[in-house]
Amino acid sequence: MGTAHESLVVATWEFSQSGVESCFDCLRKGGKPLDAVETGIHVVELEPTVTSVGYGGLPNANGELELDAAITDGAHFGAVFALRGYRSAIGIARGVLERSEHTALAGNGAVNFAQEVLGEAPLPDSELLTEHARRRLAEYRAGRFQGRPNESHDTVGMIAAQSTGDIAAGCATSGYPFKRPGRVGDSPLPGGGLFCESGLGAAVATGDGDDLMRLCPTHLIVELMRNGQSPQRACEEAVQRVMRYREQTGRDCRGAFIAVRCDALAWGAHATHEGFVVAHADGRRMDQSLLIPVEVPEARNKPWRRVCV
């Protein structure tokens, strides 16, 4: 059983703090990192004020809530893509990990698996969108939608680690608001939104998924740590890869990364733009949110785009 000082939890964005607390509490009570990450992300997915994850997420262009999620402990991986009919996807991704012969299931196949294997029936459409999401959908259909400065944004990516070398990572998102139905970003992809190797470390990503999925940044980070880089330096290298991509393509790609090494429970984070926040907990303290300073050239030193994606 892991004690408080032997555990570490980190996650993307301030809206993940309640999930971090639940994740850490699970570890403190003897849960494994895989259990803890599922628990923590599930809490975030059910928070109706988070407009880019789970139940609170904004729908696709057809007005349907469509979720992506993945969870891994390195040796095992489970994911669902374009899942409709559910407020939370991380538990179904965990079900794929444990109870499917496949690694990922998409669309109706994921729904059928949830019903037939996990016994979880989809909800009617009337129970899947918050009032906030319905208002934004009406704005979108009227051609008046613009992201609100105070809306939460992006993927929840979470890592839980213990000094035993046990580690797990997970990601969940509702994706870009009013996306084309069936669109999948980087969040549920191994090497994209997350990557993990037991005994070594893990990384999670958040940002512009249509771009980040081309760069395999979390795989890069874990391989750099394997070769001796610190989590901080590995995240900085991933940001440099994004910056080179921006220069080559002219695309305004944003990305932020968190990494954890199992030895000494060391962690690091970096981002392409100012404003990235890491929610963090360990056995010494329970931080509310940590603002990770981002050092980039002045021309790029703009705040993170405060639009849910």
184 is in an annotated binding site: yes
- What are the φ/ψ torsions at residue 295 (nearest 5 degrees)? -105, 105
185 is in an annotated binding site: yes
Active site residue 164: no
Separation CA 211–CA 233 (nearest Å): 22
The CA-atom distances, in angstroms, between 229 and each of 56, 137, 139, 192, 216 are 37, 45, 47, 19, 17
Which of 155, 173, 218, 272 is an active site residue? Answer: 155
Helices (H), the chain: 17-28, 33-45, 90-99, 107-116, 131-141, 209-212, 217-226, 231-249
186 is in an annotated binding site: yes
77 sits in which H/E element? strand 77-84
309 is in an annotated binding site: no
| Residue-wise burial string across 136-153, b where 16 or more C-beta atoms lie within 10 A, e elsewhere | bbeebeeeebebeeebbb
Give the active site residues. 155
- Residues at the annotated binding site for substrate? 183-186, 206-209
- Residues at the annotated binding site? 183-186, 206-209
